[in-house]
Amino acid sequence: MKAIRVQAPGGLDKLGMTEMKAPGDPGAGEIRVRLHASSLNFHDYGIVSGAMPTEDGRIPMADGAGVVEAVGDGVAEFAEGDHVVSVFFPQWADGPAPVADFTGTPGDGIDGYARQAVTCPAHFFTRAPAGWSHAEAATITTAGLTAWRALVVDGGLKAGDDVLVMGTGGVSIYALQIATAMGARVFATSSSEEKRARLAEMGASETLNYAEDGDWGTTVAEWTNGRGVDHVVEVGGPATLAQSIDACRIGGHLALIGVLTGRSGEIPTAKLMARQQRLQGLIVGSHAMQRDMVRAMEVTGIRPVIDRSFALEEIADAFRHEESGGHFGKIVLEID
């Protein structure tokens, strides 16, 4: 079968197609899945670019969606023909996070889903939302569940809340969709006027160009009559956190998700303390959270925004498209 491997030390020119032996029949507690799609995330880019070193020859991609081809003894939750989607932390079933690294994450510590098929323990997957394409389902594993956990699980999102999302990547667009579907008001930032227009079409109440407004945190707070938003989906990191604190209300919740502007930097701790805000770091979520999100997607009717699809063998071009920053929503790989 076809698979993509990353040669050390990484780099998009080190991504190569290879032929490998097809996975065998599942053993007890296992399933065999024919994969049909994956989707790109910043974490995957870190692996393939070499910014996050991994084992030579690693098969990348944490997200995978496909069809169950066979089930092993003792598997009750899946049957042949079921549509399924991978989980980011297979070892995290439920409850508080038990992991602080990526040693068990597909595409990082272990081989991922840039291949045609896989045999693995059944708990590596949940069912996919009914009626979704494989490409749509593949967007849940990382981006979708991150947004869901940030707002619903950690944030306790409710109707009438105000939410700030940043940019137009997969997590931010999912967060906008989830928040609006649950009756919250959403404010959004982007440096592109075209993208701002699309954000408004999707339900954002107000948008701003952060490249032109150096004090955008205060601007967002003014949109709430000075109160500040209840939730900030903070994907930028050190260069945006201070503005996010200004945008957030006293006692509000900031979900620290991304490091797009760097891995470390100054935090205005005195202001964070004075405003009694909760800064919650998070990385994706548990198997139970993903099951809950799948049900929510079916009930709300939310469907992910897919910017562009690439064939598996075009994976380097797909990541170059991600590098450009021109995407709106998710970039996916179609696996024949």
Domains of the chain with bracketed CATH: 2-141+285-334 (3.90.180.10), 145-281 (3.40.50.720)
By the 8 A CB rule, do 140 and 292 touch?
no
pLDDT at 260: 64
Q: CA-to-CA distance for 177 and 167, rounded, in angstroms? A: 14
Residue 31 to residues 80, 106, 290, Cα–Cα distance (Å):
9, 16, 18
Q: CA-to-CA distance for 15 and 8, rounded, in angstroms? A: 10
The residues near 214 (Cβ < 8 Å, ≥ 6 apart) are: none
The tens place of each residue's pLDDT in the chain, 336 residues long, gives: 999 999 999 999 999 999 999 999 999 999 999 999 999 999 999 999 999 999 999 999 999 999 999 999 999 999 999 999 999 999 999 999 999 999 999 999 999 999 999 999 999 999 999 999 999 999 999 999 999 999 999 999 999 999 999 999 999 999 999 999 999 999 999 999 999 999 999 999 999 999 999 999 999 999 999 999 999 999 988 889 999 999 999 999 999 997 666 677 788 899 999 999 999 999 999 999 999 999 999 999 999 999 999 999 999 999 999 999 999 999 999 999
Q: Report, in this order, helix, strand and coil percent for the chain, each rounded to 5.
A: 30, 25, 45
Instruction: Tell whether omega for the bond before 121 is within 30 degrees of 0, i.e. cis.
Output: no
The residues near 223 (Cβ < 8 Å, ≥ 6 apart) are: 187, 205, 206
Tell me, what DSSP letter sits at residue 22?
Answer: P
pLDDT at 214: 92
